[in-house]
Structure formats: C-alpha cells, structure tokens
Amino acid sequence: MKCDLLTLFPGVCSAYLDESILKRARAKNLLDVRILNIRDFTTDPHRSVDDYPFGGGAGMVLKPEPIFRAMDFLRQDGESRRVVYLTPQGTPFSQALAEAFAAERRRFVFLCGRYEGIDERVKTLVDEEISVGDYVLTGGELAALVIIDAVTRLVPGALGDERSAEHESFTWGLLEYPHYTRPREFRGLGVPQVLLCGNHREIDLWRRKQAFMKTMLVRPDLLDKLQLSAEDRELLDEIKKSFPGASPDD
C-alpha cells in the first residue's frame, strides 16, 4: 500500500505508524506512507490554515489554498493518485472496501480534516469521501489510520501468519469465533474440550458454529448478506432451534 497523509498533526500519525504491524510493514516496504503537514504549504507569516466561515456560524473552516498547494506538490511526480477525504458524511468503510483498497495500484492521498471541515472547493480535488462510523472525531487522522491499518493487514507478508486475516471478523461475513490459549484452566474457567481433541474437522465445525451464534446474538443483520452453502444452512437451522438459549461456549 502506498499513501500520502495530509494532516495538521503529523505526530498523531507517526506515533501509530511507528509501532507493531505497521512499523514492520514499512520496514519491509509493504507499506509506504509519507506524512505531509498542511501548514508547510501556507505562505503567510502566521502559517494560517483556517478561517471563519462565510455566512457566520460556530467554529473554523480549513482554507483551500494550502491544501491545493499540497496537492500541486504531490502531483509533480506524475504518479496516479486516489484522493480520499475522511468525513462522517462519506461512504461507510467496510471490510469489502478494505479489500478493494488493498487491490488498488494507485497511490492514496488521505486528506485529514479538522475543525468544522474543509472549504467546499477542496472537494474538487477529492475522488471519494469515506466515513469510519456515524460519529464525529476531532480530526480525520484516526480515520485515516483505521483505513491504513485495515488495508495493510490484507497486504501479503504484512502479518506473521497469512491465515490470521482469513478468519478475522467480517472477512468471511461473520463475527469471529472465540479464542483460547494456555493454561487449560484458569480460575475455574476451562477451555472447550473440542479444542483439545485434535480433530481438525470437529474444531472447524465448532468454530463455524460459534461464529454463527455470535453473529446471531450481536450482529444478526450480517446474516442477511451471506451466501450460505447447504452445509451452512443446515448448521444455521440447527442453531436457530436452540437459540437464544444456546451458550456461545457450549
């Protein structure tokens, strides 16, 4: 994944990018992130990036000039880019969109807004607007990092075990099944016996069943979007007969 981050707070972005999986992905050249401070593209002595909105109202609005200059700077290399503006008004981000972004060959530009938003004219530079949820954040930095994190996990070689991404929540349309590790018993709480039996078919079936049950309990709306196999339909019918009395760890 290749991307540029346009932000007023580069330290917020670099702090997260310099840790864990993203740090390793950058070291392997699987993730290429360049952070640009929008203030570096101002021309006045005070490095002003915002101003009062025409027509009045609360808050400040990001000015168009420094953002346009930043985009002019980026375009000097002639590389094709997909410009994304992070805003609560955008298209909801999803695992399907993360997979589409992971297949993208163009370089991304993530424009991180602040205050009351950006001057509407800046949107002439934007290819799409993306939201990470129906709530308001202080700025677009966290939203941009959410997208970069989700997409990077799908880049081959970014995770220590490629199977990790295959079984995560939403990747197969269901919430993830429960996980257990050593010790076998802790404070009177044990590990389901099926996970200790060594029969991988039984374990896979148990995990699939738990995923269905958890999804039915927490996000039943996801089940309507699934294309189920005959085996899955049979399993789901079996669960529904005992639902909601069934325990996710039975």
Is 172 in contact with 226 (CB distance < 8 Å)? no
Q: Structure tokens of 11? A: 């330290």
Predicted confidence (pLDDT) at residue 242 exceeds the cutoff of 90: no
The single-letter DSSP state of residue 221 is G
Give the neighbor-by-neighbor strand order of the sheet with 2-7.
Answer: 32-37, 2-7, 107-112, 81-92, 128-131
Backbone angles phi, psi at 125, to 5 degrees: -90, -10
Instruction: Give the tens place of pLDDT for each residue, 4-25.
Output: 999 999 999 999 999 999 999 9
Domain 169-242, architecture per CATH? Orthogonal Bundle (1.10)
Instruction: Give the tens place of pLDDT for each residue, 109-158.
Output: 999 999 889 999 999 999 999 999 999 999 999 999 999 999 999 999 99
Exposed (0-12), middle (13-18) or buried (19+): which is 197, by Cβ within 10 Å? exposed
Tell me the three state secondary structure of residue 4. strand
Boundaries of every domain in the chain:
2-152, 169-242
User: At which residue do the structure tokens 């938003």 appear?
Assistant: 117
Quick check: pTM over 0.75?
yes
Q: Which amino acid is at 4?
A: D
pLDDT at 250: 47
Nearest C-alpha neighbor of 173 from the set 202, 200, 212: 212
Q: Which amino acid is at 43?
A: T
Is 2 in contact with 101 (CB distance < 8 Å)? no
Mean pLDDT along residues 37-53: 96
Predicted confidence (pLDDT) at residue 198 exceeds the cutoff of 50: yes
CA distances 110 to 37, 70, 100, Å, are 12, 12, 16
Instruction: Give the tens place of pLDDT for each residue, 211-240.
Output: 999 999 999 999 988 888 899 999 999 888
pLDDT at 170: 64
Residue % of the chain over a pLDDT of 90: 79
Predicted confidence (pLDDT) at residue 173 exceeds the cutoff of 90: no
CA distances 82 to 23, 37, 49, 64, Å, are 23, 19, 23, 19
Is 22 in contact with 146 (CB distance < 8 Å)? no
Work out the mean pLDDT of the chain and round it to a whole number: 92
pLDDT at 153: 96
Give domain 2-152's CATH superfamily. Answer: SPOUT methyltransferase, trefoil knot domain (3.40.1280.10)
Nearest C-alpha neighbor of 37 from the set 14, 20, 59, 18: 14
Residue 37's beta-bridge partner residues? 7
Cis peptide leading into residue 156 (ω within 30°): no
Predicted confidence (pLDDT) at residue 191 exceeds the cutoff of 70: yes
